[in-house]
Structure 1
């Protein structure tokens, strides 16, 4: 198969490129060349998908059996690139996000849940809502350019080696540092992060088989807990950290920023209640969380520092802030 990957050097795009090349596919990647390096064996085309001249130059390398878009963020830009590529590609796989659902993260979701409207800029919109709305607009753009010959993947949080958002890496480093660790909520709280390599495997399967429609992509509900995550971090790092589980209500009352100061913590019923029946029926398989944590730690220990990213800059609670919250928690329990 001749495949075009929009992206291809960071995280999901890189994992997909490595997998596709390893399977013997002829892979072209299109990116600006500013992040990470090219995967051995790909045909790397440099350009900005927001520039018409670069898109015109790209299509000269076609045709392709499938396009997998791992980098589309802006509806207008995705609309333009998908429109051009519709002339030289048979099938389009767009990697979206669970954020497109109107009910996320408050409500449990399934494949038929309502998606946000892709247009307009509602007053009071926060960054997460804006991200979801814009990705929803990108989905519409792809469906318009490739009617009946496209697929949309809606992953939950992707983790694994080369995770540039820094969520699991932060927990690994914090637990490795030892001492008393502020753990959010209760250890039995279910979570559904998905290994980036499993998303890549599924994206390739969808492209190879031309599986149209939308698919929620996450680990199965009930497959892992927050306690499993932090215990895995403690086990693989060999640290002596003491986990102090602090009630959600207490953390909220003390202004601990969900998702940011304590990565992957968001005290809403729907955060980790994403049904993935359609994707599982189509062949989605997810590896154990422990394997992902172990491989992420090995990557960190290898000293691969070329993926520093602004997304990770604000992730994690500071030592001073953590100590203050724990001290207040001690007083509360006296």
Structure 2
């Protein structure tokens, strides 16, 4: 099949291209080429999607599948205008951030959406609204003949968000330095994610099978305790864990989930109780499956080792010295 990926040099787009090439498809990637190279076997067409002429080399002879990972409504609209009539199937990689409410565990596709962004460019703070506008553009151009893959937290090798890899990396670092690991006292809260390789494979296979409509492309429902137990196993950690309450973490200025001085995957705010606990029925019906947790953690740990277990300035998680200070305060 002829597969076009609008992207293909960054993390998810690269994984999609790599899988498609591995399946024997003829893969072309449109990208500026600034995020890296395309996988071996794929063809790179260099172009800036903010320019309408970027699609000119791609108009003929047509495509069996187009995969678009953009978050910018203007880019999505221009791609559809140039290529939709020449493409049999279309997948737009959206996000669970399109939903207006994240408080209800087990919520599904009936959850209300945010208002669509009015404009062509989404800022980080309007990411969800921008993705809604992209979905609106896809439906306007293709009706029901489009797969809207609303992804949740994507994890695995190559993840630069630090949100998932923090835990196997931290247990591995503690094994090396002999110190304790700080964990939240409540580990029964949801933790939901999907390996990038599973998402990439499903995007290609489901797209070519002709799966359409909105799908919550989330992994299995788990709790944080599952992740911690498996991360300890993968890292070979047999040391001490120090459980710290929500109140003590907040008093120490620790942020939830991600960001500077955060505790990765920790979500105590009831307004976000459903963020990592979405219903997976639509994903299962659409044929999405997930690899084992231990395998994903091994890949995440390998990536953490490449980046440096003791690195500072993480995008999610605590620097080691800061973590040990919080542990000392909690013990006193």
Kindly state the Cα deviation for residue 324 of structure 1 after the two structures are TM-superposed: 3.5
Unaligned 5+ segments in structure 1 are 306-311
- Partners of 2:149 and 2:214 lie apart in 1 by 6
2:148 to 152, 157, 170: 152
Q: How does 1:59-208 map to 2 (within 5 A)?
A: 59-60=59-60, 62-70=61-69, 72-104=70-102, 106-108=103-105, 109-120=107-118, 127=124, 130-178=126-174, 179-208=179-208
- Report the TM-score, using the length of structure 2 for normalisation: 0.87
Kindly state the Cα deviation for residue 97 of structure 1 after the two structures are TM-superposed: 0.8
- Partners of 2:135 and 2:241 lie apart in 1 by 41
State the partner residue of 2:54: 54
Work out whether residues 147 and 212 of structure 2, in 8 Å CA contact, stay in contact via their aligned partners in 1.
Answer: yes
Q: Aligned in 2, Cα 1:164/1:320: closer, same or farther, shift over 3 Å? A: closer
Select between 232-241 and 178-187 the one with higher mean Cα deviation. Answer: 232-241
Unaligned 5+ segments in structure 2 are none
Q: How does 1:235-246 map to 2 (within 5 A)?
A: 235-246=233-244
Kindly state the Cα deviation for residue 300 of structure 1 after the two structures are TM-superposed: 4.4
SS of alignment partner, residue 145 of structure 1: helix
Q: How does 1:227-238 map to 2 (within 5 A)?
A: 227-238=225-236
How many pairs align? 315
The one-character-per-residue Cα deviations of 1:138-192 (angstroms, maximum 9, x if unpaired) are: 1111221222211101111010111122222333322211122121242333311
State the partner residue of 1:270: 274
Work out whether residues 101 and 115 of structure 1, in 8 Å CA contact, stay in contact via their aligned partners in 2.
Answer: yes
Kindly state the Cα deviation for residue 99 of structure 1 after the two structures are TM-superposed: 0.8
- Report the TM-score, using the length of structure 1 for normalisation: 0.86
State the partner residue of 1:44: 44
- Moved segments of 4+, more than 6 Å: none
SS of alignment partner, residue 9 of structure 1: coil
Kindly state the Cα deviation for residue 293 of structure 1 after the two structures are TM-superposed: 0.3
Work out whether residues 68 and 76 of structure 2, in 8 Å CA contact, stay in contact via their aligned partners in 1.
Answer: no
Q: Does 1:287 align with 2:288?
A: no
State the partner residue of 2:8: 8
- Partners of 1:133 and 1:253 lie apart in 2 by 32
- The two structures, once aligned, show a CA RMSD in angstroms of 2.3
Kindly state the Cα deviation for residue 327 of structure 1 after the two structures are TM-superposed: 3.1
The one-character-per-residue Cα deviations of 1:260-307 (angstroms, maximum 9, x if unpaired) are: 211222223112220011120121111221110012223444x489xx
- Partners of 1:119 and 1:271 lie apart in 2 by 21
State the partner residue of 2:246: 248
- Partners of 2:185 and 2:131 lie apart in 1 by 30
SS of alignment partner, residue 96 of structure 1: strand
Q: Does 1:297 align with 2:298?
A: no
Kindly state the Cα deviation for residue 241 of structure 1 after the two structures are TM-superposed: 4.2
Work out whether residues 89 and 208 of structure 2, in 8 Å CA contact, stay in contact via their aligned partners in 1.
Answer: no
State the partner residue of 1:325: 326
Q: Aligned in 2, Cα 1:14/1:127: closer, same or farther, shift over 3 Å? A: closer
SS of alignment partner, residue 270 of structure 1: coil
SS of alignment partner, residue 153 of structure 1: strand
- Partners of 2:76 and 2:199 lie apart in 1 by 21
